[in-house]
Structures are given as structure tokens and as C-alpha cells.
Amino acid sequence: MRYKFLLTMSTAVLAVAASLSTVQPAAAAPGPRVDAEKPIDGRAIVLEVYSPAMDTVVTNRVIPAAGGGPAPTVYLLTGIGGGADGISWWDDTDVRQFFGDKNVNVVMPIGGAYSMYTDWHTDDPVVGRARWQTYLTQELPSVVDARFDTTGRNAVAGVSMSGGSAVDLAIQAPGRYQAVASYSGCPWSADPAGVAMVSAQVVRGGADPGNMWGPPGAAGWQAHDAFLNASRLAGKTVYLSAASGMPGDIDRGWGFPPVEAVASACTSAFAGRLGQLGIGAVHIDRPAGAHTWGQFEYDLHDSWPHLARAIGA
């Protein structure tokens, strides 16, 4: 009887084990990937990248490095319209010619209008599921590094709305970037003036700032306070530029002098904060410049030697 009992139990155990061995593992969540690629101008290509975080495909213009062998990467962010409005580095500057002979991959995402290029806490009726920090600091770099022969050294630069965002991204993902540049941007704090400045840009697009980092003064705003978290930029190359708002020879096209004057005040204040922390930064305070693409192009050229040294371009 005991033998039969043990035999029965052994058979049951083997049956359970066999059934468990046939259970299929859960399917892995999809990762970021290249959905499509096509040439557009010379070496430049359009790279369509699927973002799992936003469950959408993001268009990116890429100028691959000119030299042979591994090259670093610079991520260029555009202004408040996200480049989908036809206003961008690609559309309004000599970026193709300037980087034509340089051994660096230049990546220019399209999208993210009024999003501050951050991860929103809550989906918004206007900006949708915005997880731009995740996309820019994790998903897109993983695809770029896999598609191109990269060194793993990166810089991020932004203009106008995305100037402060570039600084924030460098703070949030300190291991991703060795250099950061803000051209006529406004690195923000979570004080009333900073909250008002950021909120005004989001509201301009019809979105709700509360869906971004929660109510004013909430933990989300504190986490993205550039002044509060500026120490995380230690060891990086930081380039900050802005102008007085007074139109001058540096300009090209219609500008926004009041916006530039505000950017100058923000930029100077943030440069001062870095100085208090003993963090060296290149700070350019131009006497003339009215928030135009002529000014932004000039500052991109001026900043490049600093960024290039930091990333080994």
C-alpha cells in the first residue's frame, strides 16, 4: 500500500512538473526600434523610431558622422512648436552645412510641442501621452547607438523652450550627457516666477500644466527645479547664451525681443547659481540679439568647440 501511495504521488508530481514546463513565458514588452529609415539630403536621413513609453512613432532627422570609426552624438532640440511647425534647426539654420565635415552624429527629433520635453504625470488632451524625458534619455539613444557606430559620448542642446529642457535633461540623466547647451532658454526654478514661466509655455499650446508635474510646488516641480538640482551638472561642459533683446546684426528674420530679454535674465541667474556651486560654465550675454534663428545659429557655431571637446568630436 505504501509503495502504491508513493508511486501515485510521484506520478502526480511528475504530471504537475510536466504541465509547468509547457507554460509559455509572458511576452516581453516591446522595446524602442527603428520603424523606417529613408535618405533626405546628402548623408542625412529620416529615422522613424517607435517609443514604447509614448506608444507612438517619433520622426528624427539625423546627420550621420562624416568621419570613419566611432563618433559621439549631439542631440539638438528645437523650440516650442517641436519642429512639426516647420520651424527648427533643419529648416532655419545651416546645420547641414555646418556639420557636413564633422565627425559627430547629429540627431534632431521632431515633436513634443508645448511639452517642455519632460515626462508628464498624466496624459493630457492636447499633448497626449508625453514621456519625452524617457524617449530622449533612454529610448532614442539606445536606438542611435545600435544603428550607428557611436562612442557613447553625448551632448544635448536646446533653443528657446527647449533650452531649459536641455539643462533639465542633463540634470535628470547625468550619466547620459557630457555636455549641455542652452541657447536663449530659461532654466527654471520651482518658485512662483519659474512656475509661471513654464506654465505660460504649456498653456500657450492649450495644455494643462497640472498634468505635467502636478500642482505648483508639488514634488514633481521640485524634482525638475534646475536651481535646486544644479549640482548634478558638476563635471559637465555647460554652455549658456542669451542676448539683450535689442535687435542687431546677429539677427535674421522676425524676432521676439521681450522673450529674449526674459531669456537673458533667466540665463544670467542660472549662470550665477552655477558659479555659487563652483561649477564652471561658459556664459555668453550678448549685447544684441532679438530671439531669432540668426542669433541661434551663431550661438550653435560658437558653442561647438566647447561641446566638441567634451564629447571627443
pTM of the model: 0.90
Distances (CA, A) of 87 to 25, 84, 199, 211: 47, 7, 22, 26
Query: Taking the alpha carbons of 260, 265, 266, 268 in that order, is the dihedral positive or negative?
Result: positive
Fold of the 33-186+226-311 domain? Rossmann fold (3.40.50)
Domain boundaries, the chain: 33-186+226-311
Per-residue pLDDT 10s for the chain (313 aa) are 443 433 343 444 334 333 434 445 556 678 999 999 999 988 999 999 999 999 999 999 999 999 878 999 999 999 999 999 999 999 999 999 999 999 999 999 999 999 999 999 999 999 999 999 999 999 999 999 999 999 999 999 999 999 999 999 999 999 999 999 999 999 999 999 999 999 999 999 999 999 999 998 899 999 999 999 999 999 999 999 999 999 999 999 889 999 999 999 999 999 999 999 999 999 999 999 999 999 999 999 999 999 999 999 9
Q: Is 204 helix (H, G, I), strand (E, B) or coil?
A: helix
Rounded to whole angstroms, the Cα distance separating 136 from 192 reads 28
